[in-house]
Amino acid sequence: DDTSRQYHFNRAIRTFSYFKKSCKKSEKENTYELSVDYDKSDESEIVIKILMFGPNMKVMEPQSVIDEINYRVTRQKHLFEKS
């Protein structure tokens, strides 16, 4: 719902507050887009922060971040399956 989307968007703004970013809202799709500029050396930190949002955030690019998120989620899933 709108309140939940707004909450997660505001949370993302705070989470990535010290990175250069741009934001926009799509009224038609009722979605928010946040683009974050970061140094490659900060990519691991970016991935960790994105993972804190669980299913409430979708990464569109870069592919290296998408791949790392997929790797970490898959690895975590396998750890739980072995329990």
pLDDT number for residue 55: 93
The two tokens of residue 70 are 């997929």
Asked if residue 83 has pLDDT above 70, the reply is no
pLDDT number for residue 2: 82
Question: Looking at residues 37-41, what average pLDDT do you find?
Answer: 96
Cα→Cα distances 35→30, 74, 77, Å: 17, 25, 28
Contact predicate 66/33, CB 8 Å: no
Helices (H), 1-83: 2-15, 43-51, 63-81
pLDDT number for residue 30: 84
Reduced to 3 states (helix: H, G, I; strand: E, B; else coil), residue 32 is strand
pTM as predicted: 0.88
